[in-house]
Chain A
């Protein structure tokens, strides 16, 4: 490559959450001309649920769809030289790498290095002082250690860079800041150091725009009559063509559904952002306040203008803990008088839970179709069908189950014409957060060879 030829790295996003569609990722692997395919599959709570799975079986604790996704994209990725980076390792990246190696072997693939990034689990770091509780932001009171399932620090891009330097074709991590999955690839390609904050801010913007996959390409955007998007059922997932100066063009594959416009990019720019001038990750305090978008062709948007300042010294830690149970029951009413019958049903359920002494730490009664999303939202005519939803927080599973049973009992004991009961009870794994000094978190990279 000559010095004057601008170098472009093509990086795509194959999943924006753990349950995302799989075919758009196969399309990207097969005909995206990609260098990297990144899968972001780890929501705030997912890692605590994965940790519970690992406690039951030490060979599990990674993303439940890992095998299906890898089986679907590995052949094309190997053929086309596309490296895969993902947080599908969840609570057990080493087991995820081992499973991926098995899948590769079963597909007849060889010559692959599969890296596992560990070190985000900081339970031992947090627990050194012997206290019985842990104060945390987002928890009603300090959390009893007995209830804590998982504590994972958000790692940055550096361990991904290290894995790629070790020759990894697939990198599987646990908790890593979502944009950092992409930043690690771009640092490897362009040689950006961990103090090149301006470049890291630009790379973080690329990652932030891509990390929710279809949300950049017209997903979560359509509003008939106002915002039109063609082909949502065959939405194409995004890819970025990133230049060595940090500017990037975002697009999707020809023939796929969806839309890449300035408007779709703007919506994703501010998604889950608080201060656009200081978007904090372990890599950088990214500045999105000067970002510019330019539509350079249909479904092609050029992005520039992000910046960055020095990274935070503390790393955020997500703590997953058991927080009692939630029980719920629902039933529908229709036709004239539906609202009055639904209101009567709510009164009966509330009185029954009182009469039978079900201890509720918190409860809520919604009229779905009237006030379930916003208490004062109902401004139009009363809908012709209404569903009630009784929900409460309890200490035990038995108490949680009694809420749904009282709703079910409305079939023969409640107002006329109630139908379609559903009920559920589940343990709550809640998430709170705290911070740890960066030097207490030590990432490790292990390589599995096929």
Chain B
């Protein structure tokens, strides 16, 4: 099962840092997502795109997790050679993350 079936996602950027926030549709899925969606899993899933550290902030009351991806934007929107210098497409990639069927 893909993460997209349980959650939605938005990406933002500040300088060379990206943030990816993940929101479960149903609160009952939150504990599983919080347990499975570690910073390491996100970094591994995006290994073709990011190289820096991943920090994770959990907001159980909102059913949300915010991932902050350092040095993720090859210089940031003003310098990067990438076709998506904001990293806005990262949200679509995150939702493709494969989950073990609970």
A interface residues, Cβ below 8 angstroms from B: 44-45, 137-138, 220-221, 223, 226-227, 263, 266-277, 289-293, 323, 326, 362-364, 366, 368, 371-377, 379, 389, 391-393, 428-431, 433
Contact = CB atoms under 8 A, between A and B. Distances in A.
Contacts of A393: 81
A273 B67 CA distance: 10
Contact of B10 (A270, A362, A429, A431): A270
19 contacts: A45-B77, A138-B16, A138-B76, A223-B8, A271-B12, A271-B19, A273-B21, A274-B14, A289-B59, A368-B83, A372-B83, A373-B89, A379-B96, A391-B81, A428-B78, A430-B75, A430-B79, A431-B15, A433-B15
A274 B68 contact: yes
Please give me the 10 A-B residue pairs with the lowest Cβ-Cβ distance, nearest first: A376-B48, A375-B48, A272-B12, A270-B21, A267-B10, A374-B49, A373-B89, A364-B81, A271-B12, A430-B78
A326 B74 CA distance: 14
A438 B64 CA distance: 34
B48 A274 contact: no
A420 B74 CA distance: 27
Nearest to B49: A374
A424 to B, nearest CB: 13
Interface of B: 4, 8, 10, 12-17, 19, 21, 23, 25, 46-49, 55, 57, 59, 61-64, 66, 68, 75-79, 81-84, 89-90, 93, 96
B94 to A, nearest CB: 10
A239 B15 CA distance: 28
Contacts of B81: 326, 362-364, 391-393
Nearest to B18: A272
Given A375-B48, A377-B93, 10 more contacts: A45-B77, A226-B8, A266-B23, A267-B21, A273-B19, A289-B59, A326-B81, A363-B81, A376-B48, A379-B96
A39 B63 CA distance: 31
Contacts of A377: 48-49, 93
Contacts of B93: 373-374, 377
Nearest to A274: B68
Given A266-B23, A291-B62, A363-B81, A431 B76 contact: yes
Contacts of B47: 376
Nearest to A220: B10
Given A44-B77, A375-B48, A375-B49, A273 B66 contact: yes
A428 B66 CA distance: 31
A331 to B, nearest CB: 14
A429 to B, nearest CB: 7
Contacts of B14: 272, 274
Contact of B46 (A138, A223, A374): A374
Select the residue from B13, B16, B21, B62 with max chain A CB neighbours within 10 A: B62
A158 to B, nearest CB: 23
A271 B10 contact: yes
Contacts of B63: 266
Contact of A276 (B59, B75, B79, B83): B59
A275 B57 contact: yes
A223 B12 CA distance: 17
B19 A274 contact: yes
A428 to B, nearest CB: 6
A226 B15 CA distance: 30
A36 to B, nearest CB: 25
A393 B80 CA distance: 9
A364 to B, nearest CB: 4
A274 B8 contact: no
Contact of A364 (B4, B23, B78, B82): B82
Contacts of A429: 78
A363 B74 CA distance: 12
A393 B83 CA distance: 14
Contacts of B84: 372-373
Contact of A270 (B19, B25, B83, B89): B19
Contacts of A272: 12-14, 19
Contacts of A269: 62, 64
Contacts of B57: 274-277
Nearest to B16: A138
Nearest to A138: B15
A134 B23 CA distance: 41
Nearest to B8: A227
Given A364-B82, A389-B83, A430-B78, A267 B15 contact: no
Contacts of A223: 8
A207 B47 CA distance: 34
Given A274-B19, A374-B93, A45 B78 contact: yes
A276 B49 contact: no
A263 B12 contact: no
A226 to B, nearest CB: 7
